[in-house]
Structure formats: C-alpha cells, structure tokens
Amino acid sequence: MKLNKNFTFLLLGQSLANIGDVLYMVSVISTIFVLTGSATASSFVPFTITSCMFLSSLLTPLLVGKINLKWLMAGSQIGKTVLLFILGFMFIGITASNYIFIFLIIGLIALLDGCANPIRQTLIPYYVDAKKLIQANGMAETVTQVIQAVMWFVGSLLLLIMNAQQLVWLVVGLFILACVFLCLLENVTHIAAEPNGKFTQMKEGWVTLSKTPVLKRIALMEFFETLAGTVWIAAILYVFVSDALNVDVRWWGWINGAFFLGLILGSAYCLKYSTVVEKKLGTFMYVGSFLSFIVTFFFSINSIPIIALFLSFCIGIFGQIKNIPQQSVIQTSVSKEKLSTVYTSLGAIGTGIFGIGSLFIGLLADLLGVRIVFMISGLLLAVVSIIVHQNKSLFVRKFEQ
C-alpha cells in the first residue's frame, strides 16, 4: 500500500505514542511493585486506566466540533507528554507512603488516551480513500500489534539497564516526537451538528448507534465480545496456565506471545488480500467470529501446552479477520462528521464492560474454575457469530467517504 503523507504522519505519531505507552506502563507497574511488594496494588494500574478511559469516552463528544479533530488528537498527546514530564520528576521522591500520586497521573493520562483513540480511528477515513480503508486499517492494526507484542518484552529488558525514572525520560522523548508528527497533520473539515445542550452532545453517539441498524448490531457484538475477551487478562490466563495446563510461568508469556503473533498475521492477511476482504466484509466477519468461538471452546478443554499455544495463535488470527473488516463497516456506516461520537460510544461500551467484566470473570473463575470461564467466553463468541450470520446483509460499505 502506498502511504499518503497524512496517514504516514498519523501512523508514525500513534506508533511512537503506543511504544511510549507500553514503556511507561512497564515503568509504573515495576515501581509500584518495588515500593509495595503487592501484586494487588500493581493490578490497580490497569483498573485505573480502564475506569478513566470509560469516563473520557463519555466526555469526549463535548469537545468534538469545538476543537479541530487534528488538534484534538495532537493536543491530547501534548497533554500526555506534559504529564509524563511531571511523572519523571515525581519519581525522584516517590516512596511507599506517597506512591498513590502515581495513580493520579496515570488516571489523567488515561483520560487523554480515551479521547485520542476514537479520534485516531475517525481521522483514518479523512486521510485515506474509501477504497483503501481495509489496507489502512490492516496496516494500522499490524503496526499496533507488533508494538504490543515486542515492547512489553523490550521494556522488561530495558529495566535491566535503566531505572524506572530513566525509562520515563525515554518515554518523554518518544512522546515529543509523536507530538511533532501529529502536529504536521493537515487540518480536516469536520462539520459539527448545531450546538445543543451538553447532555445532548454526550448522547449523540448513542442516538446514532440506536438509529443505525448496522451500528446497533455492532454495539451488541461489542458487548458480548468484550465480555468474552476478559478471560484473556493476565491474571485469568496465569491461573489457566498454572491450574489447567500444569506448566510453569514461561508458558504464560509464550501463550500471550502466540496470541499477539496471531493478531499480527491476521492483520497482514487482511492487508495482503484487502481487495477480497473488501468484497465480502460480512463473510469475513462471520468466519472470524465463528472460528474464534470454536477455537476458544477447544482451548478451554485442552490440557496439552503446545496445543494451547497453537490455539492461542489461531484466536489472534481469527479475531483480526473479523475486527478489521468491522472497522471498515463502522467507518462507512455513517457520515464522517458522526464517526467521532460513534467511536466514543463504542469505546465507552468496551471500556465499561471490560472493567466490570474483569471483576465478574475473576469471581466466576474462583467459584466455577478457570476452564468454565473459558467455556463461557466461547459461548459468548458463539452469540457474536450468530448476530453476524443473521445480519450479514448489513455488513457492507454504505457511504462513499
């Protein structure tokens, strides 16, 4: 795919930001664990982030229309850079008695991230021709998943040669570069609706979801899929590896890595065969969701580590084969002016359900056993595949952006 200038800047800026996000998370989690010796305290980091991103998803529509989308994206990154700069100085005097202030900073960063993520997805159709959306989404997903797969490993290695504060300063440098690329983006013409009350603005995306048949189905799928995905949080997968597979912690990392590798391969497939995928969006969404259900169910009953590794790899592939066409359906289901509020509403569903679902799944794993929660995950994905199958005619490109 030949990249145009704006998509290149968007991809570079977001990639540098994503690399920095992983490294700063490694730094923060390790610092809190060293200070407290508590895994529970460390686990509150992702909980804080999820909660704040949910709040941000609800509030972002108030900014859309008042601030140019390009500057909303760049401004959120500039804000994150300033907060990381403050965090770097905080690390000088951080102790077990005042580490709670770290949570304030990461919460504020998550508020800005919750704003940036839907805006990034909204900007892609502005900068990319509608016929190349599958390729653009595929490339963006491939880069994101490669970063996720590699940087957690790299971050842990960097901690061997750098302390947590030095790692934060490295992230500040990456964030500054990200700001530069995002500021180079061209302004986009975003025609906002007539100004209304704040509550009306906040509910705009929800109204669009409810009135657009395909988006209503996707929101329902997002609900079940996010709930199904909570079994893959680190704590639940760790228990599965330990209790169901009876192997050591190395397999925990390998199974995680296999999943991300599958995501990368699924993204690469959609990128390479974008023309084929474009013609059969609904079919690929159905095949991806149905095979995800089958593989997850087999994962739940399997006891052989090497097979678990392969099944995790397959889940990553089939998940992306569904998700990338779905992004194109969303991006062309309404006019570009409504996309940002649609994405913030879908983001609110995702973060809200994930936060609550993680706690719920953890309780179920304790009560029923870890195999049962993976079976439940498979059944939830079966519901998603049924929704896709019954509504395949809706999952096509509508608007020529």
Tell whether 134 and 246 lie within a shared domain.
no
Cα–Cα distances in Å, from 103 out to 31, 78, 84, 111, 147?
12, 19, 12, 12, 24
Tell whether 203 and 325 lie within a shared domain.
yes
Residue at which a domain ends, from 184, 207, 242: 184
Handedness of CA 302, 305, 311, 315 (dihedral sign): positive
Tell whether 398 and 290 lie within a shared domain.
yes
Tell whether 163 and 206 lie within a shared domain.
no
Q: Which two structure tokens, joined as six digits, stand for 12? A: 């570079």
Q: Can you say how many angstroms the Cα of residue 163 is from the centroid of all Cα atoms in its chain?
A: 28
Tell whether 21 and 163 lie within a shared domain.
yes
Tell whether 203 and 169 lie within a shared domain.
no
Q: Please give the pLDDT value at position 201.
A: 61
Q: How many domains does the chain have?
A: 2
Within a domain: 203? yes
Q: Is 195 left (phi over 0), alpha (psi -120 to 50) or beta?
A: beta
Residue at which a domain ends, from 159, 184, 209: 184
Closest by Cα among 227, 225, 226, 330 to 288 = 225
Q: Please give the pLDDT value at position 398.
A: 61
Q: Measure the CA–CA gap between 297 and 372, rounded to whole angstroms.
A: 10
Cα–Cα distances in Å, from 326 out to 94, 134, 283?
44, 9, 11
**Using an 8 Å Cβ cutoff, are 338 and 192 in contact?**
no
Convert the pLDDT of each residue in 246-277 to its tens digit.
Answer: 887 678 778 877 888 898 899 889 888 888 88
Q: State the residue range of the domain holding 88.
A: 1-184
Q: Please give the pLDDT value at position 401.
A: 44
Residue 100: strand, helix, or coil = helix
Tell whether 126 and 267 lie within a shared domain.
no
Closest by Cα among 101, 90, 81, 79 to 165 = 90
H or E element in which residue 12 lies: helix 5-36
Side-chain-facing half-sphere of 7: CA atoms under 13 Å: 20
Q: Please give the pLDDT value at position 228.
A: 92
Buried-state track 204-240, b at ≥16 Cβ within 10 A, e below 16: bbbebbeebebbebbbbbbbbbbbbbbbbbeebbbbb
Closest by Cα among 149, 142, 154 to 258 = 149
Tell whether 234 and 336 lie within a shared domain.
yes
Tell whether 200 and 164 lie within a shared domain.
no
Within a domain: 190? no
Within a domain: 191? no
**Using an 8 Å Cβ cutoff, are 56 and 114 in contact?**
yes
Tell whether 162 and 205 lie within a shared domain.
no
Within a domain: 189? no
Handedness of CA 119, 384, 219, 376 (dihedral sign): negative
Tell whether 40 and 106 lie within a shared domain.
yes
Residue 298: strand, helix, or coil = helix
pTM assigned to the model: 0.74
Helix, strand, coil tally for the chain in percent (to 5): 85, 0, 15
Q: Give the domain CATH number at 72.
A: 1.20.1250.20
pLDDT beneath 70, residues of the chain? 1-3, 38-43, 65, 189-202, 234-235, 249, 397-401
**Using an 8 Å Cβ cutoff, are 83 and 105 in contact?**
yes
Residue at which a domain ends, from 184, 216, 232: 184
Within a domain: 353? yes
- φ and ψ of 87, to 5 deg: -60, -40
Full DSSP string of 337-392: HHHHHHHHHHHHHHHHHHHHHHHHHHHHHHHH-HHHHHHHHHHHHHHHHHHHHHTG
